[in-house]
Amino acid sequence: MSKVPYEVYTEDVEALTVLSPAGEVINKDKMPALTDDQLKEIAYRMIFTRTWDDRAVNLGRQGRLGFYAPTSGQEATMVGSEFALEKEDFICPGYRDIPQLVWHGLPLHQAFLYSRGHQHGGEIPDDVSVLPPQIIIGAQILHATGIAMGFKLKNQKNVAITYTGDGGSSEGDFYEGLNFAGAFKLPVIFFVQNNGYAITTPFAKQTASKSIAHKAVAAGITGVKVDGMDIFAVIQAVKEAAERARNGEGPTLIEAVTYRFRPHSLSDDASKYRTKEEEGEWSEKDPIARVVKYLESKGLWSDEDTQRVKDEAKAKVNEEIKLAEKTEKMTISGLIDSMFETTPKDLEEQKADFE
């Protein structure tokens, strides 16, 4: 095997793109094999997620949600990566990664309860392979690595996937997770949604690396860079990574270059660090518009379909937020009980102080 000159690591790498902004397949070799029904399901989920995000932002401003991190613009990375997984594969999310959890099986009203800070938002159903969203930046990376180690020790053909943003790739947990997973060849996918800003800090100011994908080199694992506004590229990259993991070939670091159309959170003012010109350039790469154009060219989608999905999403969100709002209010004793199958004696005694 010939040695690769060091200089290759000082240059950026080209991102995998399958579907152009015009909705045309420009890389047939990497186009994932999808049925017409699957294509329509992908469009459904992306439009549903965008509509849900619109409504959630309004709910947050009304005080009906707590912390909420908008997702519009990142539907390809979120919907696409989850779509490429199996039901038993495990998701370890950050605080923005709520769509992946819901499409993997978490009831939407529980996602709303999580946002409202309610304990029941973190009570994951037994048949849903996810962890609650992690607020600590990068901590979920270590969780996914541990779960992947469990899969390997049990000889299970499952994969763990964890998400963070470009800012999370500057955390110590990120490097520890990659190094450990590489050393033990664990079945884990590290998925970085590089939306260009670590809250307000531009990517170029928080790392000298030309890409996040390069950072796989030091861990001895596979590194991939994809167009994060192209859901077909995301699906293909995750499918290939999952296949390598299931075959015992170890982890993959995926950098998906994307863009969040809304601010970092509802308390953020993106106009202070982003320009209208930049936002306009990225809006032309809208991941939903790409897919809709492609499906329309195949006679699989219409404006009526888009409106139907929006109507269904609005109705579903309204139903689920009402369900969340009807959930009994939290109590200190109830919170303590929810943490244990059998509440320890000392905590039983403490509960009496709050009753």
Give pLDDT, residue 336: 86
Which pLDDT value is given to residue 352? 82
* 264 is an active site residue: yes
pLDDT at 3: 53
**pLDDT value for 9:** 54
pLDDT of residue 141: 97
In the block, tokens 């390069």 appear at: 214
Q: Which residues of the chain have pLDDT under 50?
A: 1, 4-8
pLDDT (0 to 100) of residue 7? 47
For the entire predicted model, the pTM comes to: 0.94
- In SS3 terms, 99-147 reads as HHHHHCCCCHHHHHHHHCCCHHHHCCCCCCCECCCECCCCHHHHHHHHH
Set 9, 175, 262, 273: catalytic member: 273
Residue 291 in contact with residue 20, Cβ under 8 Å? no
| Predicted local confidence at residue 333, as pLDDT | 86
104 is catalytic: no
The helix/strand/coil state of 26 is: coil
Walk me through the domains of the chain, giving residue ranges and CATH numbers: 9-354 (3.40.50.970)
Which residue out of 244, 264, 274, 290 is catalytically annotated? 264
Token pair for 70:
């908008």
pLDDT at 1: 43
Q: Is 260 a known active-site residue?
A: yes
Question: Per-residue pLDDT tens for 271-284?
Answer: 999 999 999 999 99
Residue 339's pLDDT is 82
Reference 165, options 105, 221, 93, 273; nearest CA is 93
Options 244, 260, 274, 290, the catalytic residue: 260
Q: Residue 174 has what pLDDT?
A: 97
